[in-house]
Chain A
């Protein structure tokens, strides 16, 4: 009873923190602590199984640098993230603006755009392997029937095209969610502001550019941040559809981390690459948060 006087509120006491203990313990043990472990493993020659490993200093980092793993994995990941963020957000926002208009059959279009989101990445990988397949695949067959030479179509084998082909799959999958979030944002706009715009003589495009988009800047921020995080984690379709190939053209950071650890059993090296990736991800996130916060205030 004496203790209670110390708190500001009798109802909301610090005892509440006990509620967070199970989640905290679990989250710390299986998510945050392992990240710190990575820093330790990155200076060893640990192979992932044998616990008798030696400290090797910065050797892992130096090999990564010398072999050039960094120089294709980092640019690939950044291209992946940038293209994914730009294209998926522009298409999703455009779709949401169209669907927000008062038209019939809205629900059907929304369902169509959302459906790909429900499939597992592994299933999507299979379906798109068929779509991109040279010779018998969907795109090749359509090209044939249109009189173009479909037999030359082999997008996943091209050094320049493979990465973009994979990004396209990811865009196809994630537009649904992004669009739904934009749609929800658009529906929060006060209709009196739209009316005011109409009275002032805004045409459709001005309405979008000067009223609707600025008013959903918070939604844009969230969607952009979510897709950047998604893009930097790019792994699924590389693993299922190309295995990083042709050559190293589609090797992303996370796929390289996985491959070093599981296929080549070089856990030390994989951990070193993880540390590099971790620093990159943190740097990008912080820059983005600062930039986005500034923009939102300006708007």
Chain B
């Protein structure tokens, strides 16, 4: 009797979840299937997977100069992440370890910036770039990517730092290790789960961000992937252009989706880690 009840309950759960998944995925699947059509095919996109052609992908590939913009995106994202991990973990070291007023101040100082929207400070920031004589290149947005990642990164590292026993460091101190050595060779390697979480969460938003590159980059050879998409803005109202537009949408998202499908466990764990540790 009880078993039957549980089975009926599970069935209802499955039905709800399937319905939810269909509603969530419907736009993505429709767009995905249309991206495999020939450019001229204007039949309703709701007829799923009616043909399989790479023509739209080829057109999108050349229109957005995919290899160039992909490399730009890849270099800025990877470069930013390296700097974020290094200076973020370092900044969290005193915040997580010391119990002084200054360390508390730093903690709230970094967290407070989380509420500031990028649109608000963008012009003063541009003025700052001018006065510091920072040229506008494909790497200029990296300054902002690194800066904007600091609240979450220091918060996460400081949280994980509490799980690294102080005794290990004391032992290293007895063995004559200086501060720098203790941090780089003992504490930082033990923070690997935090590093994974930082790389995943910050990597996703940096890869997808279009605002900073859009403001700071004017030459199309320096565009990142999402900014290269902005030139399609006029095409979205025109059904004749849809198949190419949809193909470019998936070209833009493909790298992250591939990484997600390979490292699913790390992605889910990384996203959860931030909130649970806090």
Q: Which residues of A contact B (CB under 8 A)?
A: 10-17, 19-20, 22-24, 26-27, 29-35, 37-38, 41, 48, 95, 98-99, 101, 103, 105, 107-123, 126-131, 133, 136, 138, 141-142, 145, 172, 175, 177, 180-181, 183-185, 188, 204, 219, 222-223, 226, 229, 232-233, 235, 240, 254-255, 257-258, 261, 267, 270-271, 274, 277-278, 281-282, 285
Contact = CB atoms under 8 A, between A and B. Distances in A.
| 10 smallest beta-carbon distances between A and B, as pairs | A184-B272, A34-B124, A23-B91, A120-B208, A37-B124, A112-B21, A16-B94, A34-B121, A19-B90, A20-B91
B147 A30 contact: yes
B46 interface: yes
B28 A116 contact: yes
B244 to A, nearest CB: 11
Interface in B38-65: 44-46
Contacts of B225: 120
B272 A181 contact: yes
A10 B94 contact: no
A229 to B, nearest CB: 6
Contacts of A131: 27
B276 A219 contact: yes
Contacts of A142: 46
A10 B182 CA distance: 14
5 contacts: A48-B123, A119-B253, A122-B226, A126-B232, A261-B123
B272 to A, nearest CB: 3
Contact of A31 (B26, B148, B237): B148
A257 B106 contact: no
Chain B interface SS verdict (over half): helix
Contact of B229 (A120, A235, A277, A285): A120
B182 to A, nearest CB: 8
A258 B150 CA distance: 23
Contacts of A128: 27
A120 B253 contact: yes
A185 B147 contact: no
Contact of B260 (A26, A112, A118, A281): A118
Given A24-B106, A116-B24, A257-B120, A177 B271 contact: yes
B218 interface: no
A109 B25 CA distance: 11
Contacts of A281: 115-117
Contacts of A108: 21
A26 B87 contact: yes
Chain A interface SS verdict (over half): helix
B275 A184 contact: yes
Contacts of B26: 138
B163 to A, nearest CB: 15
B82 interface: no
A235 B172 CA distance: 49
B25, B97, B122, B124 — which one has the most chain A CB atoms within 10 A of its CB?
Answer: B124
A118 B272 contact: no
B124 A38 contact: yes
A176 B166 CA distance: 36
Given A16-B179, A103-B10, A35 B146 contact: no
Given A41-B123, A138-B46, A185-B276, 10 more contacts: A14-B98, A16-B98, A19-B90, A27-B109, A101-B13, A122-B230, A131-B27, A261-B123, A277-B117, A277-B120
Contact of B21 (A34, A109, A267): A109
A258 B147 contact: no
A206 B212 CA distance: 48
B193 interface: no
Nearest to B271: A180
B90 A23 contact: yes
B204 interface: yes
Contact of B150 (A12, A27, A117, A226): A27
Contacts of B272: 180-181, 183-184
Contact of B121 (A35, A99, A130, A188): A35
A112 B117 contact: no
A27 B208 contact: no
A35 B260 contact: no
Interface in B1-37: 9-10, 13-14, 16-18, 20-21, 24-28, 30-31
Contacts of B71: none
B128 A30 contact: yes
Given A103-B10, A274-B120, A123 B93 contact: no
B268 A180 contact: yes
A110 B173 CA distance: 46
A23 B150 contact: yes
Contacts of A270: 123
Contact of A22 (B87, B170, B211): B87
Given A24-B106, A30-B125, A118 B113 contact: no
Contacts of B208: 118-121
Contacts of B117: 232-233, 235, 254, 257, 277, 281
Contacts of B210: 120-122
